[in-house]
Amino acid sequence: MKGLSVSKAVTALMLAGLVLLPLYSQLSGNIFILTLFTRIIILALAAASLNLIMGFGGMMSFGHAAYLGIGGYAVGMLAQEGIGSGFIQFPVALAASAIYALVIGALSLRTRGVYFIMITLAFAQMAYYVASGLARYGGDDGLTIYNRSDFSGLVNLGNRVQFYYLCLACLFGVIFLIWRIVNSRFGLVVQGLRSNEQRMQAIGFPAKRYQLVCFVISGTMCGLAGALLANNTDFVSPAVMYWTRSGDLMVMVILGGMGTLFGPIMGAVVFLLLEEFLSQITEYWALIMGPLLLLIVLFGRGGIMGVLGRAGRG
Amino acid sequence: MLLVVEQFLNGLQFGLLLFLLAAGLTLVFGIMDLVNLAHGSLYMMGAYFAATFAAWTGSFLAGALMALGATLVLGIVLEVTALRHLYGRDHLDHVLATFGLILFFNEAVRLIWGPAGLALPLPAWLTVPVPILPGIHYPAYRLAIIAVALLVALLLYLGVMRTRIGMLIRAGASNREMIGALGINIKLLYTLVFGLGAALAGLAGLMQAPILTVQIGMGENILILAFVIIVIGGIGSIRGAFLAAIFVGMIDTLGRAFLPNLLRQVLSGAAASTAAPALSSMLIYLLMAIVLVVRPEGLFPANRR
């Protein structure tokens, strides 16, 4: 029980920090930290969505960045065509991600294990090339979004603090949703499938259908992150979907602790702060980051949440 | 006609090159059960080594041979220091650890060789066009790639199917505990197999280097193609990798060459020129999707229990 309390305390501290961050930014006049953390929160949302299928569902998707791009391009393309309302842009972003997830999931879920990893990767790469070929929407160079999504006075995305809290609210909403899903009958079936698919099938659950629904939910959540990310950077380009971005998301989930509710947030915060910190020390930050990942895999079982749990117990 | 023959040979050449890369990947996966994303980095290192050694010795062939040796050594070092500890772990661990290695290699290359790409110039005797059919010439270097890759494929086949080492490799793939119990040094065998895979990737990289520029990240796009190939061919199957590689190389090359014209006959000019690049880069992924729908285990799944 003591172990639980350590990780709970750290989680609570982190969440409180995220809620109070704009206050600190206002008082200290450090605007950069607010921008940085807006990005961190959006990617934490994407990592949390990946965790739903990877951690709880046992589906190792290596193509999750595709949804970041699809959500982002939905916003960017609609803005380009003169449809600036967020009430249209966001639902379209979510729907497009859901449809993509449905098609990709239906095909990929025919396979398992390492095939699944490679296939999701290949499909995301396909999405990347398709986006690079969209000459009307900037192709390789990407698409600048001149006006952020307009929520007609409800919330102003141009205001840094309001946008930050919108992203944070989305993150908390998604975490709440994942918590409800994981503890529902549906979530238990999906977790059962992770442990033993054959047995679940023998009991009479249509395995693929459950997994596909979970896959689509996760993709839709990540599409939301994509729409927010495009608004945050005022720009969307194929690079958002590049496979290293999918790798980053996987690293965040595993770093934080796969299959834990708050692990992905923790992972995203630590990973992106580390990236920021290392890139300030040296231009060649990946030279340190790469071996660090290797060491984390070799020695850091269960990620940060796992280590915190062990620290509390030991 | 000229264009058709030329593109056909280009497709064959690209496919054979992909096979060299995919063969190492599928060997390492089939025998050590290791997913190695850093395979593309070895391809990149092969190209960088070749460009450096060729500039240093002044000879393309000497540079290529030294680069081959260097990637072999690099592969062995990598296996002994890092990857050996990953055997028997979860595939996800492999993906992450080797993803870290990619970051490391890309950054190390930038540190050592700088962010700008290198060029690997060909010697004069490899740049002449060779008449292959009456009236049709084809670059000697691309023919050399085809010849070398076919030779390596043949040697690989003979080596795996006909020699003692090959027998041990196959035995190790089907039951590693048993072969260890029979007194075979399985650790050494794994190191050798990994080194062989690395050398094959290096060979692909150094042969591709004169055609494209040698640059950071050059191994990543082609690595994903190699993944597609081993998924289509069936993971662990060298024969499957060979056929799938030729198939993918052909479809990719011919699609890029002829799809725009085909589309132009169906669609209006503007629509065709927008759709063609996107569609031709999608072709192989569509192919993969179709294969998966029909045969989820790939076309030639290796016999695994």
Query: Is A291 contained in some domain?
Result: no
Least confident of A11-25, A263-277, B193-207, B270-284: B270-284
Residue A285 included in any domain = no
Q: Considering only CB atoms, which chain B residues are within 8 Å of A62? A: 95
A62: in domain: yes
pLDDT, mean of residues A146-162: 87
CB contact under 8 A, A287 and B111: yes
The confidence score (pLDDT) of residue A76 equals 94
Domain that holds residue A163: 24-246
Does residue B226 belong to the interface with chain A, where contact is any CB pair within 8 Å?
A: no
pLDDT band at A199; cut points 50, 70, 90: very high
- The ipTM (two decimal places) reads 0.82
**Which of the pair, A4 or B126, is modelled with greater confidence?**
B126
Give the per-residue pLDDT at B246. Answer: 94
pLDDT band at A314 (very low <50, low <70, confident <90, very high): low
Query: Closest to A115 (Cβ–Cβ): which among B101, B106, B231?
Result: B231
pLDDT confidence of B276, banded at 50, 70, 90? confident
**Number of compact structural domains in chain A:** 1
Checking if the pLDDT of B39 tops 90, the result is yes
Mutation target to probe the B interface, by most B beta carbons within 10 A, among A297, A298, A301 is: A297
Distance from CA of A251 to the nearest CA of B (A): 7
Q: Which chain A residues are Cβ-neighbours of B108 within 8 angstroms?
A: 287
Confidence (pLDDT) at A279: 86
Judged against a pLDDT cut of 50, whether residue A170 lies above it is answered with yes
pLDDT digits (tens, 9 = 90+) for A276-313: 998 888 888 888 888 888 888 788 777 888 888 877 66
Predicted pLDDT at B304: 47
Q: Provide the mean pLDDT of chain A.
A: 90
- The answer to whether the CB atoms of B292 and A107 lie below 8 A apart is yes
Per-residue confidence (pLDDT) for residue A1, from 0 to 100: 47
Per the CB < 8 A criterion, the answer to whether B79 and B195 are in contact is yes
The predicted structure's pLDDT at residue B123: 85
Residue A267 lies in a domain: no
Q: What pLDDT, in 10s, does the model give residues A84-114?
A: 898 999 999 999 999 999 999 998 998 888 8
Give residue for tokens 């050494």. Answer: B188
With contacts defined as CB-CB under 8 Å, which chain B residues touch A127?
A: none
* Contact: B100, A250; criterion CB under 8 Å: no
* pLDDT at A183 > cutoff 70: yes
Angstrom CA distances, A205 to A188, A262, B94, stand at: 12, 29, 31
Q: What is the pLDDT of residue A155?
A: 85
For residue A295, is it within any domain?
no
The tokens describing B282, both together, are 């999608």
> Quick one: pLDDT at residue B302?
66
Q: Quote the CA–CA distance of B149 and B242 in Å, as a whole number.
A: 11
Q: Least CB-CB distance to B35: which of A111, A114, A285? A: A114
Q: Which of the four pLDDT bands, split at 50, 70 and 90, describes residue B5?
A: confident
Higher pLDDT residue, B219 or A173? A173
* Chain B residue with minimum CA distance to A138: B274
- For residues B238-248, give the mean pLDDT: 91
Q: Which two tokens stand for residue B157?
A: 């086949």
Question: CA–CA separation, A62 vs B245, rounded Å?
Answer: 22
Amino acid code (one letter) for A147 = N
Closest by Cα among A131, A14, A114, A5 to A66 = A131
Query: Does residue A229 lie in a domain region?
Result: yes
Residues of A with CB under 8 A from a CB of B: 54, 60, 62, 107-108, 110-111, 113-115, 117-119, 121-123, 125-126, 129-130, 132-136, 243-244, 247, 250-251, 254, 284-287, 289-294, 296-298
Q: Does residue B107 belong to the interface with chain A, where contact is any CB pair within 8 Å?
A: yes
Pairwise pLDDT comparison (B234 vs B46), residue with the higher score:
B46
CA neighbor of B198 nearest in space, from B59, B55, B57, B82 = B82
Tell me the chain A residues in contact with residue B285 when contact means C-beta distances shorter than 8 Å: 122-123, 125-126
Using CA atoms, how far apart are residues B169 and B31, in angstroms rounded to an integer?
A: 7
pLDDT of residue A106: 92
**Is the minimum CB–CB distance between B188 and chain A shorter than 8 Å?**
no
pLDDT digits (tens, 9 = 90+) for A8-62: 888 999 999 999 999 998 898 888 899 999 999 999 999 999 999 999 999 999 9
Q: What would the pLDDT profile of B130-163 be if each residue is shown by its tens digit?
A: 887 777 788 889 999 999 999 999 999 898 888 9
Least confident of A203-212, A277-286, B73-82: A277-286
Per-residue confidence at B121, pLDDT binned at 50, 70, 90? confident
In a domain, A242, yes or no: yes
Sorting pLDDT into bands at 50, 70 and 90, what band is B260? confident
pLDDT at position B290, please? 84
CA separation (Å) from A3 to A10, A266, A312, B180, B264?
A: 11, 17, 4, 41, 66
Confidence of residue A162 (pLDDT cuts 50, 70, 90): very high
- CB neighbour class for A104 (10 Å; exposed up to 12, middle 13-18, buried from 19): buried
Residue A153 lies in a domain: yes
Best mutation target among A53, A112, A115 (most B Cβ atoms within 10 Å) is A115
Does residue B61 or residue B259 have the better pLDDT?
B61
- Give per-residue pLDDT as tens, B49-75: 999 999 999 899 999 999 999 999 999
Instruction: List chain B residues with CB under 8 Å of A125.
Output: 221, 224, 285
Q: What sign for the dihedral angle of Cα B221, B226, B229, B231? A: negative
Residues of A in contact with B97 (CB under 8 A): 293-294, 297-298
B194 pLDDT more than 60: yes
The answer to whether B203 and B65 are in contact (CB under 8 A) is no
- pLDDT at B305 (0 to 100): 34
- Tell me what the mean pLDDT of segment B287-303 comes to: 79
Whether B221 has a pLDDT exceeding 70, the answer reads yes
Where are the domains positioned within chain B? 13-294
Percent of chain A with pLDDT over 70: 98
